[in-house]
Amino acid sequence: MHKGVIPRFGGIGIILGITVGWLMLGVDSWWLLLLLGLSIAFISFLDDLYQLPVWIRLAAQFIMSAVFVYFEFGFSVFSLAALLLISIVWMVNLYNFMDGLDGLAGGMAVFGFSTFAVAAYLAANDIVMLKAAFVVVAATLAFLRWNMHPARLFLGDVGSTSIGFIAAAFSFYGWREGMWPFWFPVVVFMPFIADATVTLLKRFFNGENIWQAHNKHYYQRLARMGWSHPSVSIAYYVAMACSAALAVLLLGSSFAIQLIGLGSFAVLISVVFMLIDWRWHRFQTQGISQSQRSVQNFEADEGFVKESNSVIPL
């Protein structure tokens, strides 16, 4: 989605900012999350430098995620532990997949962790969670100064994977402590989760290599259809703000209201995705037609005629 050479180590600044911020504010009880986040960031840093094989990255992510699940939740309920493990690894990778447009991944972190902070305070008056979340927001805002269009700095894998890991850890920690129900983090990060998950499933069922870099995400399709980077980012910011507001509003609602709200939101997202797919199909069809017309015009201008299966110059 970009042309030219742009540095991709902005995530280092975010991770250092989070580390220093947590230690300064006394969030030292989160040493395990910090250590694991730094470990994932280090593996991703090596990947940014040397393009590590997929199996090495996945193995490291599974190991770090398993350590977190073991110390925070235990393995006594195997099905729960497996679900948490897969969810964390998927969050790490989907955040990396969605880091492909100026200001997009950083904006999701600002909206997502701000919502975590507000919910932690409203639900449990948890000042530690509030401070920890706002440190992530502050570090990301500093990075966005250089990542907004035209981007002069990228997160790189070192930033996207570590933010994804911390987001997943916050999600499950808040759920365990009773700050929010299991669906809350899903709704908060829905613009990223829906885009990445639907795109991955479509590519999987089409027989494509799901680990190969591509430009088929919905945000990428919008950009390829002529939307500017700021326009796409603003559209996703609006979606992020709506997701965050809905998640907070539904927190104190009855189960019936929550079910209606979540169902309506799911339908809305599905409709938006179908509209983008429909527009993308038309865009491709028009592109093919224009290419065919260009070829025909070229042949006419150059004095070519088609006879049977051959092309003969006059």
* Burial label, 313 (beta-carbon count in 10 A; 0-12, 13-18, 19+): exposed
Report pLDDT for 311.
Answer: 42
Contacts 24+ apart (CB under 8 A), 223-228: 223/1, 223/101, 224/283, 225/279, 225/280, 225/283, 228/149
More confident residue, 69 or 294: 69
Give residue 91's pLDDT band: very low, low, confident or very high (50, 70, 90). Answer: very high
What is the rounded average pLDDT of the residues 109-115?
97
Report pLDDT for 314.
Answer: 35
Tokens of 211: 């680990």
Using an 8 Å Cβ cutoff, are 155 and 14 in contact? yes
More confident residue, 23 or 161: 161
Report pLDDT for 208.
Answer: 86
Instruction: Please state, in angstroms and as integers, the Cα–Cα distance from residue 243 to each residue in 237, 239, 295, 296, following that order.
Output: 10, 6, 46, 48
What is the rounded average pLDDT of the residues 56-64?
95
**Res 30 pLDDT > 60:** yes
What is the rounded average pLDDT of the residues 84-103?
94
What is the rounded average pLDDT of the residues 211-240?
91
**Res 265 pLDDT > 80:** yes
More confident residue, 220 or 214: 220
